[in-house]
Structure 1
Amino acid sequence: MLAQFAVLLGIAGLLIVGMFVYPRWRVRRAVHKAFPLAYSAILRRDLPQYRHLAPDLQWQLKKRIQQFLFEKTFVGCAGLEVTDQMRVLIAARACMLLLNRETEVYPGLSHILIYPSVFVVPREFRTEDGLTVESRQVLSGESWSDGRVLLAWDQVMPPEGQIPGHDVVMHEFAHQLDGEDGVVDGAPDLGSQQRYQVWSRVMRDCYRRHAQMLAHGEHSTIDAYGQTNAAEFFAVSTETFFTNPHGLSMEFPDLFRLLRQFYHVDPREWAGS
């Protein structure tokens, strides 16, 4: 009986080890494969920042993309057929937010749903007198807390080209980062109370200044949608940080420095050159 128990215990131990070790081994194997030449061509053609990244950042981005593509499932919606271009570009823009950072590749995310164009989602809200009202909202992207991100492909790759300060993929994946501490509130996992205090102060001050600029009819590099709430201000600021870093650094230098410290990159080094 003792021998049988020992065998069963050993088998159970192997199974438990396999549950944790085998998935990590599969990820490492996928990441260590050569990056496909066709994927590199997509990056060079369709991701302007990639061409100006330092070699070590290009290498980092490729490895992150490989892990992202291995772990996440892409689903075409409304008849859309998902292509390698869609998968690689979405993964690349999402992983731009992870460069130089010791972090997992969106561990809470499992599926990316891609629509051909803007899509409609149902909404419910309560009026002041307590009535529940149903509505429909047209969206170009949305981040959900259940492991899904929804994107409209014609907004990921707009026919007229990217507008500085706008990137729907970076916006929605900033929400994913924001939610990694359990709540989407405009403050991602920062690791220490001191960093949270600095983050709160800078974000609050810049949010108020942004509101004042809009109230006075002044143009801002940060889209007006950022005034929706703190979470949207962080997401919109992230878009601007990566796609219009020079404008953000001049208009909101404190916010730029805060995001540079969080993301561990300075996009001015590879933007617009």
Structure 2
Amino acid sequence: MNAVFITFGVIILSILLFLPVYKDRKARFAPFPAPWREILERNMPLYLVLPDELKMQLHLLVNSFIHRKNFYPCQDLEMTDEIKVTIAGQACLLLLNRKTSEYAKLKSILVYPAAFIAAHTQVDENGLVSVEQIGLAGESWGNGRIVLSWDDVKKGARNIHDGHNVVLHEFAHQLDSEDGSTNGAPYLDSPNAYQSWAKVMSKEFAQLQHNHMLGLKSVMDDYGASEPAEFFAVVTETFFEKPAQLKHKHPELYQILAAYYHVQPDEWQH
């Protein structure tokens, strides 16, 4: 009798363990809703230039992302499929052609209608601590959350030539933090890749800092000169939105990002 109960318990436990995996696979491979495709076509011009094979990949990733992540509206914003799909489409752009756990540590996306106020602590050169209220378009937190401004999400998605995209920026931070440290060095495919990554990224980061100090223009936003983590997020925006310019002016940087993201966006017709 005890053996029967033990066997029954093992079966029930196996079902309970398998059920979430089954639900995830079912959601991932569900038919992509036509209204969602229309949202991507309307709000995400980069979707229109993707090769068909990458579009199909993106559909699977968006299905899974929306199934697995929690979206929370803030300040009376009404959460809609348009908001979810527009954010998920851009976030999953960073996952194409890659082995991915789909931002495994990320649980929640908080969305404000417009720029939101956040308190940031600053320490000056004399050690004095001050708290400054800053209006932000997005923020990536280490506790499994991302905060976004819906207005800025739409602006970033619809202009694919300015190199500014808050979703790409904040989700690049999520990739960067997957190894437990947000320092501009995400998980790479092989141990040997880290040496090349460090060499190229350090050189390009120093060059951007130099240009910023002298007031020289760069294809990348000057905000990337603030620290290595921001540099990685900024060059990710540039890689997807200004690929031809980045490849022409910073070929080593373009190639190392192409190797990391496993796509060649300069080949897409923007």
Same fold (TM over 0.5): yes
- Does residue 184 (structure 1) correspond to residue 182 (structure 2)? The answer is yes
State the partner residue of 1:58. Answer: 55
| 1:118-175 superposed Cα distances (whole Å, 9 cap, x missing partner) | 1111223445555543332221100011111000011111299525211000000000
d(CA) in 1 for partners of 2:193, 2:157 = 39
Identity over the aligned pairs, expressed in percent? 40
Separation (CA, whole Å) in 1 of partners of 2:4 and 2:127: 62
Q: Any stretches of 5+ residues in structure 2 without a counterpart?
A: none
Greater shift after overlay, 10-19 or 247-256? Answer: 10-19
Q: Secondary structure at the match of 1:78?
A: coil
Measured in 2, the distance between the counterparts of 1:113 and 1:261 equals: 31
* Range that drifts further, 172-181 or 160-169: 160-169
After superposition, the Cα gap between the structure-2 partners of 1:182 and 1:159, relative to the gap in structure 1 and judged at 3 Å, is: closer
Instruction: Judge conservation of contact 1:245–1:271 (CA < 8 Å) in 2.
Output: no
**Offset at residue 208 of structure 1 (A):** 1.1
Who is 1:170 aligned against?
A: 168
DSSP-derived class of the 1:120 partner: strand
User: 2:226 is matched with which residue?
Assistant: 228
Match of 1:40 in 2: 37
Secondary structure of 1:23's counterpart equals: helix
Provide the rounded CA distance (Å) in 2 between the counterparts of 1:164 and 1:158.
Answer: 10
User: What corresponds to 1:14 in structure 2?
Assistant: 11
Match in the other structure for 2:209 = 211
Q: Distance in 1 between matches of 2:108 and 2:50?
A: 28
Give the structure 2 partner of residue 196 of structure 1: 194
Quick check: 1:264 aligned with 2:262?
yes
Normalising by structure 2, we get a TM-score of 0.94
- Corresponding letter in the other structure for 2:149: A
Please report the RMSD computed on the Cα atoms of aligned residues, expressed in angstroms.
1.8
Cα distance in 2 between the residues matched to 1:188 and 1:12? 41
Match of 1:104 in 2: 101
Is 152-161 or 103-112 further displaced after alignment?
Answer: 152-161
Of 251-260 and 185-194, deviating more is 185-194
Q: Distance in 2 between matches of 1:159 and 1:69?
A: 20
CA contact (8 A) 2:44 2:158 kept: no
TM-fit CA distance, 1:270: 1.7
8 Å Cα contact 2:39-2:86 kept in structure 1: yes
Secondary structure of the residue aligned to 2:192 is helix
CA distance in structure 2 between the partners assigned to 1:238 and 1:193 by the alignment: 21
The equivalent residue for 1:80 is 77
Classify the secondary structure of the residue corresponding to 1:190: coil
User: Which residue of structure 2 lines up, in the alignment, with residue 146 of structure 1?
Assistant: 143
For these two proteins, the number of residue pairs brought into alignment is 269
Q: In structure 1, how many angstroms separate the alpha carbons of the residues matched to 2:66 and 2:243?
A: 27
CA distance in 2, matches of 1:141, 1:173: 10
Q: Which deviations, in whole Å up to 9, do the C-alpha atoms of 1:45-89 show, x marking residues without a partner? A: 221111121111000000000000000111110111112111101
The answer to whether the 8 Å contact 1:77/1:116 transfers is: yes
**CA distance in structure 2 between the aligned counterparts of 1:40 and 1:84, rounded to whole angstroms:** 11
Aligned-pair CA distance for 1:214: 2.0
Residues 157, 165 of structure 2: 8 Å contact kept? no
Q: Is the 8 A contact 1:243 1:271 kept in 2?
A: no
Specify the SS of the correspondent of 1:143. Answer: strand
Task: Report the Cα distance in structure 2 between the residues aligned to 1:70 and 1:159, rounded to whole angstroms.
Answer: 24
> In structure 1, what is the Cα distance between the partners aligned to 2:195 and 2:119?
36
What SS does the aligned partner of 1:98 have? coil
Structure 1 stretch 152-161 or stretch 218-227: which is displaced more?
Answer: 152-161
Deviation at 1:230, TM superposition (A): 0.4
What is the one-letter code of the residue matched to 2:77?
L
Contact 1:244 1:271 in 2 (8 A): no
Flag structure 1 segments of 5+ consecutive residues without an equivalent: none
Compared with structure 1, are the counterparts of its residues 176 and 248 closer, same or farther at alpha carbon in structure 2 (3 Å cutoff)?
A: same
C-alpha distance in structure 2 between counterparts of 1:12 and 1:255, whole Å:
55
